[in-house]
């Protein structure tokens, strides 16, 4: 069994490094597990524990789902939190709405569902997870940073491939190992 997901790799640029650095320094004494920047990605589908022999089927279906998409670009913009400001759990940076990204995601989910793979049924909210909050003592500091970057354009991202990753959980944090790369 391998714990797998399908994603778009994001290579962080200077502006994203600066935003993350500003967040880390502004929230230095907080209980936040920051995402390693080499792990930054946009999740398209999380499949979880999957039999290894099914990865070929997933790969084949993914190739079909990606046909005709072509290369495109995304904009990373703003920061926010998941659950909510009263009980923040995840700090993220957003992805501007993109018809190509939405169509790609829909095609992948439909293709996997058609093949019998059950994917979490939740609305697609493309984002980059920057940190997971364990505890937060200074909520006003988080709010100030969110206000500062609320609508900041951070980085353009070229999208030219979709990757099936294996997620290997370690005490020091997850390792994301590419298994299959599908060029668009």
Q: Which residues are catalytic?
A: 41, 127
Exposure string of 12-30, with b = 16+ CB inside 10 Å and e = fewer, is beeebeebbeebeeebeeb
SS (H, E, C) 76-126: EEEEEEEECCCCEEEEEEEECCCHHHHHHHHHHHHHHHHCCCCCCCCCCCC
CA 59 to chain centre: 19
- Which among 47, 63, 70 is positioned nearest to 1, based on CA atoms? 47
Query: Tokens 């069994």 map to which residue?
Result: 1
For the chain, the first-to-last Cα distance in angstroms comes to 27
| Cα–chain center distance at 80 | 14
Q: Strand pairing partners for 161?
A: 183
């Amino acid at each position: 069994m391998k714990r797998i997901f399908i994603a778009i790799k994001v290579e962080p640029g200077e502006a994203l490094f600066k935003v993350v650095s500003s967040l880390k320094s502004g929230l230095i004494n907080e209980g936040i597990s920051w995402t390693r920047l080499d792990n930054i990605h946009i999740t398209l589908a999380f499949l979880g524990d999957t039999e290894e022999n099914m990865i070929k089927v997933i790969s084949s279906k993914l190739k079909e789902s990606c046909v005709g998409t072509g290369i495109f670009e995304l904009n990373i913009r703003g920061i926010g939190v998941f659950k909510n400001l009263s009980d923040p759990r995840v700090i993220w940076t957003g992805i501007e709405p993109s018809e190509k990204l939405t169509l790609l995601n829909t095609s992948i989910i439909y293709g996997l569902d058609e093949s019998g793979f059950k994917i979490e049924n939740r609305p697609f909210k493309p984002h980059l997870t920057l940190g997971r909050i364990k505890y937060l003592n200074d909520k006003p500091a988080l709010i100030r940073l969110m206000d500062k970057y609320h609508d900041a354009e951070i980085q353009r991202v070229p999208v030219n491939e979709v990757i099936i990753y294996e997620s290997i959980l370690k005490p020091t944090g997850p390792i994301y190992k590419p298994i299959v790369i599908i060029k668009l």
